[in-house]
Amino acid sequence: MSSKEKDYGLHSNFEKDMSYGDYLQLDKILSSQSRLSNHHDEMMFIIIHQASELWMKLILHEMTAAKEYIENNDLEPAFKMLSRVSKIQQQLIQSWDILSTLTPAEYMEFRDQLGKSSGFQSYQNRLIEFLLGHKRKEALKVYEHNKELHEILINALHNKSIYDAAIGALSMRGLPIDKECLDRDWSLEYVPNQSVEEAWLEVYRDVTKYWDLYELAEKLVDIETRQQQWRYNHMMTVERIIGHKPGTGGSQGVEYLKRVINHRFFPELWSIRTKL
């Protein structure tokens, strides 16, 4: 041990103690980048997608907990979690900048090695969309080969979204909400409702009285804004690299991504801005 190490009290014997690498299980993480080609850029391609899945795991962790707080009419603890989700989304948005350094010619040199695998099959991204309220039963078909995973997704499909929980919070505060919004088939896509719009309008017109609901609404708008930015950057990156070719998993590629950009997760939180 050097004199500097002694001065700083650095621990160097890990025969019996847990090290940084042990705690993070870096042996597993850093040995999981198995290229199927000899192309230099495939390493970047793998790491971008693996890192994105880790960030998605954290989004699900934070947003699931936030939803539970909202359902229990305890909004303030959810605010930090939802703010954290927005920051994580920024990381995901910026990841497209790295992936876009891959040119079409370079990608074509290893694209065939991907087989039928595709980012469209990301079950965590599907869980996030379900949690945000974008429910599509037909999207589950690609997961039928994995019974355990398929069951997780079915349960998520039939659970309330975070927006359903927010609408419930409006009702718990005495704002009139149509029964059909509070007791419905949660597996179906949410349909905009006049009573919900009027309730959010009341919140925004009396921020002092409904500060926590107002703050919740703005946190949700932050998340939707960044989710749309992520979708847009995804679409532009795909078009830049493969143009209008079909996706490796058989999706319509850019054309599908362009359509979903127009989808709204929390419609009344946008429509009220015109009416205020």
Binding residues for heme: 234
CA–CA dist 48, 55 (Å, integer):
11
Q: Where are the alpha helices (DSSP H) in the chain?
A: 3-8, 20-24, 26-29, 42-71, 76-99, 104-108, 123-132, 147-157, 162-172, 179-182, 194-205, 211-242, 254-261, 267-275
Reference 227, options 200, 262, 255; nearest CA is: 262
Binding residues, by number, are 45-49, 107, 111, 234, 248
Please provide the DSSP assignment of 15-52 as one string: SSS--HHHHHTHHHHTT----SSS-TTHHHHHHHHHHH
Binding residues for substrate, by number, are 45-49, 107, 111, 248
Q: Where are the alpha helices (DSSP H) in 133-210?
A: 147-157, 162-172, 179-182, 194-205
CA–CA dist 20, 27 (Å, integer):
11
